[in-house]
Structure formats: C-alpha cells, structure tokens
Amino acid sequence: MKRYLSAGLKIGERRYPAEHVVVWLGLAALCLPPLALVQGAEKTAMAAPPASQVLWYDQPAGGWEAEALPIGNGRLGAMLFGATEKETVQINEDSLWEGDEKDTGWYQNLGEFEVALPQAKPVTNYRRELDISRALHTATYTSDGVAFRREAFASFPDQVMVFRYTADKPGSHSGTLTLKDGHDAKPVIGPNRLTAAGKLKNGLQYESQILVINDGGTLTATPAGIAFQNVISLTLMVGAGTDYLNQRDKGWRTGEAPHRKVTEQLDKAAKRQYADLLAAHVKDYQALFSRVRLDNGKTDAAIAAQPAAKRLEAYKQANAKDPELENLLFQYGRYLLIGSSRGALPANLQGLWNNSNTPSWRCDYHSNINIQMNYWLAETANLPECAEPLLSYIFSLREVRTEQTSSEFKSKRGWTVQTENNIFGGSSWEWNTPGSAWYCQHLWEHYAFGGDGTYLKTVAYPVMKEVCEFWEDRLKALPDGTLVAPMGFSPEQGPREDGVSFDQELIWDLFTNYIEASQALGVDPEYCQKVTAMRDKLLVPKIGKWGQLQEWMVDRDDPKNEHRHVSHLFAVHPGRQISPTKTPALAAAAKVSLKARGDAGTGWSKAWKISFWARLLEGDHSYKMYSELLKNNIMPNLFDTHPPFQMDGNFGATAGVCEMLLQSQAGELHLLPALPGAWGTGSVMGLRGRGGFEVDMAWAECKLTSVTVRSLTGKVCQVRYGEKTVELKMKPGAVIRLSGDLSTGKK
C-alpha cells in the first residue's frame, strides 16, 4: 500500500495524487454512498462517479456563459475555464450589490484571478470535469511528459474556495498569479497573499484575498502579483466578504470592514492539510446532495463515454436517448442550489455566478415567477436548508416594503413588492401587487413540508398575517359581493384591470395557507374567520367560451396567444386550487389553455410547463417539455438560457421531475402521478412530501413495485397510486413499506 500511496494511484489513463487516495479511503470509511470502494487484486481505489453525476469536456472553456463551470458554497462562487497556459477564474460574493432602499442597483462582479503556467510542449490527454457528487472541479493534462492536475472546490465548512495545482514530477509548476478587482481596486501584494479591497457607490465595503501556499520551490512578490518557481504543489485559498447585514435596523451593515473576518477564515483554513479540507467539504456537501437519488434508466456506454457537450448535441437528434444526461440535469439543479443558497441571501437570477457589473435584469430577485421558481425544488428535492436564505430575505425586507407600499397605495397595513428587487428592500419596474402573497407561499411550504411549529409561529405566521391585512384593505367588492383585486396585471401582458386570474389565485392561496397556519398554531380565531369569509367571496377561476381557463375576469383570451408567461395557471402549479382529482372541470380547462399557449418558450417558461403538465397528470407531455428544454435551452455547461443565461430554468426543471414522481399538494402523497413512458423502469430515493414525509419508490414497466414512506412529524398519511388510496397512521420516525398494490408492511 505504501508503494501506491507514494506514487499516487493510476485508474485507467488518469493518475490521482497520493493525498486523494487517503481522502477517498477516509470518506469510504464514513460510508458516504457515492464513494464506494472498488477492491482490485493489488490496489484499492474509488469507483468513478456515474455518467449521471459528471460533466466533462475534452477542451478548455471558450466562454463564460456557455462553457465555464461553476463551483459555490452558497455565498462564494467561481467560474472555471480550465485553460492550461493561462487559467482565468472569475469570482463572486453574493452580497456585492449596488443600490439601496430606493435604487435597485445591480448585483456585481467581484473580480477574477489569473494563473499563468507557460507550457513548453503541446498539451495532450486534456480533460476537465465537474463531479457534482462531490462538488469538485478537476482539470488534467499532459505536457512535456508531465501529468498535471488541478482541483477546485468551494468549502461551506471553511468558508473559502480552494484551488490545488499538482503534477507527477516534482518542481513542475512555475508561473505567476495575478488578481484583478471587478471595480479596479489596486491589489495589495504580499509575499504569499493578494488583497483587493474597495467600496461601492452605496458605501458597501468589500474585500477579496488569495492566500498562496507552496510545497517546495519559491514564492516572490512582484509589482504585478506573485511569482512561483519550481513548486511541487501550489494551493490557492480564496476568501471574500462585504460588510452587508440583512437587518434594516442596523442600516444593512455589520459596522465592520470585512478584512478581519476574511483574513481569519483564510488563516484558519491554511492551518489544515489539503486532504482534510477536501474531506470536510465532501462530507458536508454530500450530507445534502446524497439525500436524493434517481435511476431513470441507463445510457448506452458509447454515448455515456462522450464529453458533455457532445452528448448534448447528440441528444438533439431525433429519437436520441440519454437518460443519464436527463438525470444529470435533474441533479445539476440540486448542485446549483446547494452552491448558491447557503449564505445570508437567496439564489438570484443567475444563482450567484455573474461576471458583469450591469447584468441583464440586474441579476436580481424577480418577483413575478423567477425567484419563486428558484425554490420550488428546495422542499421536494430534500434541500430545505437551502430554502432558509429565501425565508430570511423575505423577513428582512418587510419594513422597507411596508413604507414604500404605503406611499404607493396609501395603504395602512401590510406590504408588497415591485418586479425587480435587491438585497436592501429596494424595488423597481412594475408593481407586482400579489408578489408578497407568492413569497408567503414559500414561507408556508417550508412549514408544510417540515412541520416546525416554532418557525411557523415566529417567522412565517407574522408575515402571512400582515400580507393578508394588505389584501383585506385592498380587495374590491363587486355589486354581487364578489371580491376582486383591483388593477391587476397578468405578467407580462395585458392591461391593468380588476379581477386578473393571477392575482385572484395568489390571494386564494395566501388566504388558504393563512387559515391553516392560524389553525395549526391555535391563534387569532376571529381573524381566521374573517379571512375564511373573504376567501369564500373571492372571484374564482372561470371557464371561458372556448373551454379555456380565463386569464382575465373578462372572457377575452386569444386562443392564438403563445406568450411565454402562463401566469393564470398558478392555481395548477405551484398553487393547489386546481387539480384533476379535486376540481376536474377546472383542470380540463387549464389543459385547454396550456395546449393553446404551446410548447415553445424561453428556458424558464418550458421549465414551468414541465410542472404544469405533471400536475395535470400528463407524464409524457411533461417529459416532452423536459426533453425540449434540454434540447433547445440548455448550454454546453448545462446552464439554462432565457436567453441570456438564467438559473431559474435549471431549478424549475429539477422541480418538474419531482412533480412527475411525487405530488402532495392535494392532501395526499400521490405516487408516480405523471411517470413518463420514457422512464418505464427505475427508482427514486429521498423525495419529500407535505406533512413531513420522505418517500422512496421503485417501478417497472411504468408500474409501481414498491414504496417506502418515512414520517418526520407523525401525521396521518394518505397515499394514492392511480385510483387506489390507503391511510397510514404513523408515529414520528416511523417507516412503512408498501408493495405496488399499496398493501402495507411495517418496520
């Protein structure tokens, strides 16, 4: 074994450094599922991750948007290109925002660093990859007989990003490191550290640092950066921060420049061995990522062996099949949410990855669908912790929004938002009056899935009540007593007028969730009765003259309208007012509208249609939308494009797959409600349903063969498969297994 550890380990044509073998063995001992050991006659190695967990390429990235690959720890992010002679890494920190409470501003680019590594000979055996089972980026190549390897990851436990350069010949790394600040701050160059600090126009202080650790060789500070000569290995630790604080009463600032905290984070991480940093990162990441597994079929080995860009091109051909690529897109959405939503702030239009100081749509929190779509997968795909930044964000902006709503609408209670939103409560463009009601759905869903009564009482309920009060004061009564939202707007089309379906459905959802929250907490019974009475008087969805679900109170929908927004189907998804099992006539009308709107659209629009068709129990059409998204709106690095790049399509696609396999909005766990024929045999592990349930399922020939239900809260569980339902009485922590015909057995 010592012989193997000293030389590293060769698997196929790739050599892994000795330190990685140690990490793999340690992780395997912890029984982390993706790191199962493979024992050969003379060596022990890590099994290569499956094709459904790796994006790999045979050449460096040619552009930021479509080809570079992302890493992130929820707060810090980087985009990597993998160039061999001059590697550029673009970096972000999620609170680097221009603007304030009045000016929406833009999310900003933090900067980039460059590692110049001149190569004497042509490069061969090039490969770069992103292993989403470990959140690890690697690039390997050979030059002048030397095998080079780079690794990069963004550590949540250590709050730094780590970039590691090694080779199988000692002393093979010589070059320079430079740092370019995104706002032209001049870097301070030390013997082993680069620092760039500055202040935005709004006074926000920021800082980035790169700490350089060399094994062997020398480091030398130069006027341009840090030169390294003949080093055995080079490790770069990148830290960054701002003085932003998501508390208005403290002026949105911590009161301290970020220098001390960033320095402490880097210095602390630098005291640890690289192998320990990597192991801690992988263990932390997999605690989230490994909760959900999907087997939707196997790809032909020859196809699976191709680089991701070539697989994507092949997938666009008629009758092409690559179920593991479809699986990869599903899991990629989970990877991206973990990477962009574990800090103080939620994922924005681009997650947190942005290389511009004036990005499209400000790279903001767009309130009429986009930020909501970012989080549909958080609960269903078993990443509830990743929803918490959104919930904190909603809670933090209430005071600012209350003042601005009062100024705009002369209202005395409650608040709402405009369409474009920043991190200081500032908004711009069209007022999206039901936007805060949509935010409240996420507050409620976090409780509906997790059952945390303390959270419901202290966070969700107060916000839901004040938004109900906003609508209590704003709703308008028609002559017959029907309540309508005045001067609504169906994004992003049509005039402002009363009774727009989008508004009505969101208010119904808000009131319904508030009623259940009040009853769950046993508080405010009188106000609960008032909200119940208002909900019962709301204008409800109407069926129009050509059988469609009306977008407006007036029956004037155009059957030739193919607009990308289908906002009047909110009641189908993510709402729960319309379903085939509870309201079949309205569900049929929604289907008519959806067919008329067509299957075309931008990336996020197609992603929403995946869930629409799944909620309408049309699995093959849902799969068609998923496939169309993958064929036409996914770039070589698997980023979704509007165009341009928007992260919501990635998140929405993952959420849509969850809806195909498990639904719970109608008060029951509906198993395989929209299973597509293309995924006729498979299994899924770890999906979540409302009521505090986790579900594993297996199926063959499009028929359920087994299901396991785990209860987190001990609530009664109603289970549906097809037309059959069973009721399960479960204690907290109980596990019940069901056969394909829903007969039960207990553990």
pLDDT tens figures, 371-387 = 999 999 999 999 999 99
| 3-state secondary structure (DSSP) of residue 465 | helix
pLDDT of residue 674: 98
Parallel, antiparallel, or unpaired: how do β-strands 293-295 and 682-689 relate? antiparallel
Long-range contacts at 489-495 (CB < 8 A, ≥ 24 apart): 489/430, 489/431, 489/432, 489/433, 490/551, 490/552, 490/565, 490/567, 490/568, 491/368, 491/369, 491/419, 491/432, 491/565, 491/567, 492/368, 492/430, 492/563, 492/565, 493/561, 493/563, 493/565, 494/551, 494/552
Question: Of the ranges 26-40, 333-347, 399-413, 463-477, which one carries the lowest mean pLDDT score?
Answer: 26-40
Burial 216-255 (b: 16+ CB within 10 A, else e): ebebeeeeebbbbeebbbbbbbbbbbbbbbbeeeeebebe
| CATH class, 50-290 region | mainly beta
Per-residue pLDDT tens over the stretch 268-318: 999 999 999 999 999 999 999 999 999 999 999 999 999 999 999 999 988
Written as six digits, the tokens of 135 are 């959140």
pLDDT of residue 41: 25
**Closest listed residue to residue 285, CA positions, set 239, 209, 324, 336:** 336
pLDDT above 90 for 6 = no
pLDDT of residue 378: 98
Provide the CB-side half-sphere exposure for 342 (13 A, CA).
22
Q: Which is more confident, 546 or 119?
A: 546
253 φ/ψ angles, rounded to the nearest 5 degrees: -135, 150
Q: What is the CATH number of domain 362-373+410-445+452-574?
A: 1.50.10.10
pLDDT of residue 48: 62
Question: Where exactly are the structural domains of the chain?
Answer: 1-48, 50-290, 362-373+410-445+452-574, 686-746
> Residue written as tokens 């460096």?
60
Q: How many whole angstroms separate alpha carbon 252 and alpha carbon 97? A: 12
Report the percent of the chain where pLDDT is more than 70.
93
pLDDT of residue 563: 82
14 CB burial (10 A radius; 0-12, 13-18, 19+): middle
Mean predicted confidence (pLDDT) in 209-214:
98
- 50-290 and 362-373+410-445+452-574 share one fold: no
- CA 327: distance to chain centroid? 15
Q: How many whole angstroms separate alpha carbon 505 and alpha carbon 551? A: 11
Per-residue pLDDT tens over the stretch 329-343: 999 999 999 999 998
**Closest listed residue to residue 162, CA positions, set 47, 242, 76, 253:** 76
> Where would I find the beta strands (DSSP E) of 529-654?
none
Long-range contacts at 44-48 (CB < 8 A, ≥ 24 apart): 44/1, 45/9, 45/11, 45/16, 45/21, 48/11
Q: How many CB atoms lie within 10 A of CB 620?
A: 12
pLDDT of residue 100: 98
Helix 323-340 to helix 274-289 angle (10° resolution) is 110
User: Is 235 within 8 Å of 164 (Cβ atoms)?
Assistant: yes
The band of 745, judged by pLDDT with boundaries at 50, 70 and 90, is low
pLDDT of residue 564: 87
The band of 700, judged by pLDDT with boundaries at 50, 70 and 90, is very high
For 294, residues 6+ apart whose C-beta sits below 8 A from its C-beta are 52, 327, 330, 331, 657, 682, 683, 684, 685
Mean predicted confidence (pLDDT) in 578-592:
97
Residue 97 is classified by DSSP as B
Q: Which is more confident, 11 or 403?
A: 403
Look up the pTM and report it. 0.93
pLDDT of residue 29: 34
Parallel, antiparallel, or unpaired: how do β-strands 717-721 and 669-671 relate? parallel
Cis previous bond, 574, omega within 30: yes
Cα four-point dihedral sign 341, 347, 351, 356: negative
Q: Which is more confident, 36 or 605?
A: 605
Mean predicted confidence (pLDDT) in 569-598:
97
For 71, residues 6+ apart whose C-beta sits below 8 A from its C-beta are 77, 78, 80, 130, 135, 137, 152, 153, 154, 161, 339
Q: Which is more confident, 276 or 319?
A: 276
Mean residue pLDDT of the chain comes to 92
Cα four-point dihedral sign 25, 27, 29, 34: negative
Question: Of the ranges 38-47, 457-466, 705-714, which one carries the lowest mean pLDDT score?
Answer: 38-47
The band of 495, judged by pLDDT with boundaries at 50, 70 and 90, is confident
**Closest listed residue to residue 423, CA positions, set 396, 385, 391:** 396
pLDDT of residue 502: 97
pLDDT above 50 for 651 = yes
pLDDT above 60 for 359 = yes
Per-residue pLDDT tens over the stretch 146-173: 999 999 999 999 999 999 999 999 999 9
